[in-house]
Structure 1
Amino acid sequence: MVTHVPAEAHGDERGALLSFIAEQRGGIRRAVLGLTDEQAASTPSASELSLAGLLKHVAEVEQGWIARAKGEPPAVEREESNWHECFRLVGGETVESQLAYWEKVAAETEAFVRSVPSFDDTFALPPQPWFPPDGRVSMRWLCLHLIRETARHAGHADIIRESLDGATAFELVAAEQQVVPAS
């Protein structure tokens, strides 16, 4: 299921940023369209990344960023001992369960972004070398970062899917919309 931001919400900054986040989520969701869990977990390219792993990672990362912005810990704390689980399905996890989880995360992201008083408001980050050095970021930065993070991995997903079965982003958009491409 793909979440779409209503067209009337695109005119303001929040709506525009949320629509860009939703658009990039769609690229990753479409990349797993019609695949089995085994296909989605395969690594057909030179990378160790799989579509299932990317799906899990982006959902987990988005949830973690929104939690941090709310002043809460992420649902899953990642460290050296469990980092490898961020990019692969473990236990009873499935593509379907990860899609459902991400749908919930996406709804929470939209509600939170729409609720913040100002995009200039900031929140603190833990001291980690991969976070900005000043330790604080704005809500605007958060949205732009989610776009960047999701778009980066949507590009990875395009390559992995095409390596897996030749399906391109255009074909997947058509399949999602149940449109038969012209020959």
Structure 2
Amino acid sequence: MAQISTEVVGDERGTLLAFVEAQRTAIRETLLGMTEEQAASRPSASELTLSGLLKHVAEVELTWLRLAQQQPNERQRSRETWNEMFRLVDGESIPDVLAFWDRVRQETETFIAAVPSLDDTFPLPEAPWFPKDGKVSMRWMLLHLMEEFARHAGHADIVRESIDGTKAMG
């Protein structure tokens, strides 16, 4: 079960990063004790799997980090490979994805610590769901990651409970 830190972070940056980390932890904990096969199973009506959700959130964080850094995304997905974001492929394993997400997490935290202000903005990519010439702040990105991770932590809770009855909250 995800625990809220007993450490009180005094600034906005630290507080936002702590809440993002709490949601990361909630997702990670749904995989505790799972085999690769169990984590890849689809026990509900959804096509979501625990390992697929893990990979998805790790790649989503990388995508937003690269957008904020205004750097190319080394894992950019095309229309043809988009669905690979939701499943492990080519010999990937849960430990591989967890290690990848740890690297992304560390890079995100280092980047956010270094930006002069959470009010600093970066451009959104061209997409039908973004406003033309839209920009968002670093604060918005952290809140969006928190929202994304929380949504998928809920999905992961349902998938895990469907596999073996384990509940995140009791």
Q: Which TM-score band applies after superposition, normalised by the shorter structure? A: over 0.9
After superposition, the C-alpha distances for 1:28-76 in whole angstroms (9 at most, x for unaligned) are: 1000001011100001011000000000000001011011100112221
- Structure 1 residue identity aligned to 2:106: A
Q: Confirm or deny: 8 A CA contact 1:32 1:51 kept in the other structure.
A: yes
- Structure 2 residue identity aligned to 1:78: R
Question: Does 1:163 pair with 2:162?
Answer: yes
Structure 2 match to 1:7: 7
Structure 1: tracts of 5 or more residues without a match: 172-183
Tell me the CA shift for residue 130 of structure 1: 2.8
Query: How many residues end up aligned between the 2 structures?
Result: 168
Q: Confirm or deny: 8 A CA contact 2:123 2:133 kept in the other structure.
A: no
Q: Confirm or deny: 8 A CA contact 1:31 1:158 kept in the other structure.
A: yes
Structure 2 match to 1:42: 41
The CA RMSD measured in Å over matched residues stands at 1.7
Matches within 5 A, 1:60-139: 60-139=59-138
Cα distance in structure 1, aligned partners of 2:125 and 2:66 = 12
Cα distance in structure 1, aligned partners of 2:52 and 2:42 = 10
Q: What SS does structure 2 have at the residue aligned with 1:170?
A: coil
Structure 1 match to 2:18: 19
Matches within 5 A, 1:146-157: 146-157=145-156
Cα distance in structure 2, aligned partners of 1:134 and 1:5 = 38
Name the TM-score, length of structure 2 as normaliser: 0.93
Shift >4 Å, 4+ stretches: none
Structure 2 match to 1:33: 32
Q: What SS does structure 2 have at the residue aligned with 1:93?
A: coil
Query: Identity, % of aligned pairs?
Result: 57
Q: Confirm or deny: 8 A CA contact 1:64 1:73 kept in the other structure.
A: no
Structure 2 match to 1:181: none
Cα distance in structure 2, aligned partners of 1:119 and 1:43 = 39
Q: What SS does structure 1 have at the residue aligned with 2:136?
A: strand
